[in-house]
Structure 1
Amino acid sequence: MRSALMAALFAAALLASPAALSSAARAEQPPPLSKGQSLYVPVYSHISHGNLDGRGKPSELLLSSMLSLRNTDPAQSITVTSARYYDTAGKLLREYLPKPLVLGPMGSSELFVEHKDKTGGSGANFVVEWKADRAVNVPVIETVNAYFFGTQSVAFTSPGRPIHPNP
């Protein structure tokens, strides 16, 4: 009975693997070329952790956040036209780009939210808008949220997600 079960599981794994491979291969296909996007990028200016205190509040760890802007096109420039920073309530705190930022082919830049800046809260975010003259590879736009002190450290990325711009 046990060997029959093992044989059935092995056969099921063999039959499933072509589908799994094709879906994995599909996931690795490059996204379609684009002439621009608006992206929502999560920022974690602090994270809650630990146990609740006497007032029912968790401990908070303040993080810095670097918005990384990376042109992935080897032949064409892109222009980042806006990087608006919003707080947890959705209130616009500031525009990080006083003028458009041109990123040459394979070029990158970053914008920085300091560790001490907790105005955004745990639900802070950027809305980044970029454009190109021709359809190009979609850039990688994400935040790197980090805390380093002594032997303690935490760092993680938050990818940008395409959204529809305001009409």
Structure 2
Amino acid sequence: MRMMVRVLLIILGLVFFISCSGSEAPREEKKTDRSFSPAGLSVKESDGLKKVRGQVWYVPIYSNIPCDGDRLSDLSAFIAIHNTDLSYPIQVTKVLYFDNDGKLVKDFAVQQLKLAPLAATNFHIPRKDQSGTGANFLIEWTSDSPVSEPLIESIMVDCQTHKGLSFSSKGKVIREVK
């Protein structure tokens, strides 16, 4: 029996050393000067892509959700706003947070927050907030040039339990300037 264990250990050791001794081709890293030009992309911009100069978005969030009958599970939430345009900035002009009854809870008073091309920002709602399952944001943005519309979504998270609940919700454009 001891002999079998020794042979097995020798075989496992050989397999380990053989598998680790192979040489891996070095990864080629592309050097970057930390600048980006959309002209360097292979896929060129088409005329068919929708471009706009401003929008108002309605974005639902869920500060708490029903769980196990009448019990509510409290969630923290945040709105993420991504400028998806490759060339032009956008200005976030309003970020307003409303509760389940449509009452204004908070005006984030962004004072013309400028997002550079491909930049993003977010606004947080703490877990203690009790605005309800129908809470929502109105987000207004504008641009001096027609741009691809931003990506705006809400993310809800419960990190307090051992289950780690999280989900996202998409917004909807309710006003637009072309």
- Please give the TM-score of this superposition, normalised by the length of structure 1: 0.73
Code of the aligned partner of 1:78:
I
> Where does residue 136 of structure 2 map in the other structure?
125
> Where does residue 39 of structure 2 map in the other structure?
none
Matches within 5 A, 1:42-61: 42-51=60-69, 58-61=70-73
Structure with bigger strand share is 1
CA–CA distance in structure 2, aligned partners of residues 31 and 155 of structure 1: 32
Matches within 5 A, 1:100-139: 100-118=112-130, 120-139=131-150
Q: Which runs of 4+ in 1 moved over 3 A?
A: none
Code of the aligned partner of 1:33:
K
Q: Which of 83, 104, 108 lines up with 1:96 in the alignment?
A: 108
> Where does residue 19 of structure 1 map in the other structure?
none
**Structure 1: runs of 5+ lacking an equivalent:** 1-29, 52-57
C-alpha change, 1:98 and 1:74, in structure 2 (3 Å) is closer
- Please give the TM-score of this superposition, normalised by the length of structure 2: 0.69
2:92–2:110 contact (8 Å) kept in structure 1: no
Report % sequence identity.
33
Equivalent pairs counted in the alignment come to: 129
CA–CA distance in structure 2, aligned partners of residues 110 and 164 of structure 1: 21
**Structure 2: runs of 5+ lacking an equivalent:** 1-47
Q: Which has the larger radius of gyration?
A: 2
2:63–2:77 contact (8 Å) kept in structure 1: yes
> Where does residue 36 of structure 1 map in the other structure?
54
Over residues 82-111 of structure 1, what are the superposed CA-to-partner deviations in whole Å (9 max), with x where a residue is unaligned? Answer: 010011111111211341210000000110
